[in-house]
Structure 1
């Protein structure tokens, strides 16, 4: 009788053990299946496109890490979420190629809240800046200072990924040409940076200082070159030189800092005081200052032809068509940069 009860207990214990083991195996396999499915979905997403994220998602991702590199986030900005047709198509070339990157299109309203909450010391200047392009210029420096990453104007088309050039870099700028006397040769239309680099602070304080000195009439009137001088490439250039001279303890020009002029080729890369400069053909390709290919490379021309333009200037990583969407009377032209203009 005792042996029979003992046998029953042993059998019951064995069945319970086997049943528990089966349940554990089932749970493990199910969890693994869920995780693999999630990873496969993530892999599919990351292998086909960048990931569009909200500002809250951007903040959560950004603050979850300590940054010793250029963050993989692409910033672009427009007055709202509705891009013109060609802007949307050019934007897509970046998203399709920069898989594994995050992307956010900033609107005017989002920019205002971003500056107000993250940079209250700059906000009063920001609100006064006029026309709108001055605010659009300024906020890109603030993206770089706060988040870092890659800022790109909406008239750039990606040819192939450039992030291989970002390894161990601090700030990466792209040149139009080597005519540095013009102060427009280092555009602010394509810039990359680690967060909190001091270069951007030099530029922002320059904007604040110059804007505080102009008269009310000058602030409200339009003159050719106003945007370039106050917040655009000339502002970037002067802030850059002030930073380089302070860092290098020198008064040398950018030409001199680059060294021998024979090294200044269209695909050259220069390093000065942790600032990387990419030669004209690497990122910009089309140089509006020298006029080569202007009839087919300028998005403002009725003869604009992207394919012919690329045949002429042969871009390596990217190309800009200098559409001047915020200037030259195009702001309120809903048909500008529409697909019907493509040849």
Structure 2
């Protein structure tokens, strides 16, 4: 009696279109599921490059255009889970016009020390590396622009045009815009020197100095909860009010950064474009857990069939 089970599954899915909901439900409940998920080949080959070499290749950022950059970060350049290596390669294969950078913890700290030394005391004060891995992506998008993607994110289609849909591009997950995690920081895109990122950085620095910081997790101090709060505050203010709030941070920028500043409202993509898998949905969570348990992956053809409107899909491994 498969049909009643599928119909019940469809009723609890709220974040996808009816077309995609039907596809996901059928995939979950068909007998052939385990045969379609495979474990990728392991490798210990280090990803070449480092912060200094990558910055030299990036060159001078143009504040008025989207750069061909995809930025990711992981604890190491060589000790990388096999599924993460596979998903990273999908960005390389489907975006041949882009540099796909991978920075480790040392690269990230070198970048902050080099370009944002005034933020280094707070950056170093975080109690765990996940806070720094969250924080650095705001600084990277401000300084260089491009697309940031978590390592548990697969590219299903080229990142253009979704990543260039606005000067700052975020994506809403799920059907509840008031949910504290509704704007994940797993995938974000931007032109360089966007004031929005400075606004998020200012809110992040303020959160680190708050009495609640000692007992707060990364979601609230550096991650999606903070990002949503920064976004919601930013869009309520006019440009003059934003600049007034940012005055202490603006004074810390170097002359090049100050001269390149640009102001734009963020663009929000519909959830199925970047977050077709909604971790708050029980059916989606079941798919995520099946894949995560054995570090399995879906063949590209299956991913594109399940998520026909998606440029990327994040599998929410919560590896930290």
TM-score of the pair, normalised by structure 2: 0.70
How many Å apart are 1:134 and its aligned residue? 0.8
Query: Where does residue 140 of structure 1 map in the other structure?
Result: 137
Contact 1:69 1:167 survives alignment (8 Å): no
3-state SS of paired residue (1:67): coil
How many Å apart are 1:140 and its aligned residue? 0.5
Larger RCO (CA under 8 A, 6+ residues apart): 2
CA distance in 2, matches of 1:289, 1:134: 22
Runs of 5+ unmatched residues, structure 1: 1-50, 251-272, 327-343
Give yes or no for the alignment of 1:229 onto 2:225: no
How many Å apart are 1:68 and its aligned residue? 1.4
CA distance in 2, matches of 1:287, 1:147: 29
How many Å apart are 1:313 and its aligned residue? 4.9
How many Å apart are 1:162 and its aligned residue? 2.3
Query: Where does residue 306 of structure 1 map in the other structure?
Result: 298
How many Å apart are 1:54 and its aligned residue? 4.3
3-state SS of paired residue (1:180): coil
CA distance in 2, matches of 1:310, 1:301: 22
CA distance in 2, matches of 1:162, 1:106: 20
Give yes or no for the alignment of 1:98 onto 2:92: no
Contact 1:77 1:107 survives alignment (8 Å): yes
Contact 1:293 1:309 survives alignment (8 Å): no
Correspondence for 2:314 among 297, 320, 341: 320
> Superposed, which structure 2 residues align to 1:1-343 within 5 Å?
54-64=50-60, 66-82=62-78, 83-167=80-164, 169-214=166-211, 219=214, 226-247=217-238, 274-298=265-289, 299-301=291-293, 306=298, 312-314=306-308, 316-326=310-320
Distance 1:309 1:54, change over 3 A: closer
Contact 2:83 2:295 survives alignment (8 Å): no
3-state SS of paired residue (2:63): coil
Residue by residue, what CA displacement relative to the aligned partner does 1:17-63 show, whole Å, maximum 9, x if unpaired? xxxxxxxxxxxxxxxxxxxxxxxxxxxxxxxxxx9754334333443
Contact 2:83 2:296 survives alignment (8 Å): no
**Across the two proteins, how many residue pairs are aligned to each other?**
249
Residue by residue, what CA displacement relative to the aligned partner does 1:63-114 show, whole Å, maximum 9, x if unpaired? 3453311111111001110211000000000000001111211110111111
TM-score of the pair, normalised by structure 1: 0.66
Q: Which 10-residue stretch deviates more, 181-190 or 239-248?
A: 239-248
Residue by residue, what CA displacement relative to the aligned partner does 1:136-157 show, whole Å, maximum 9, x if unpaired? 1000001101111110000011
3-state SS of paired residue (2:313): strand
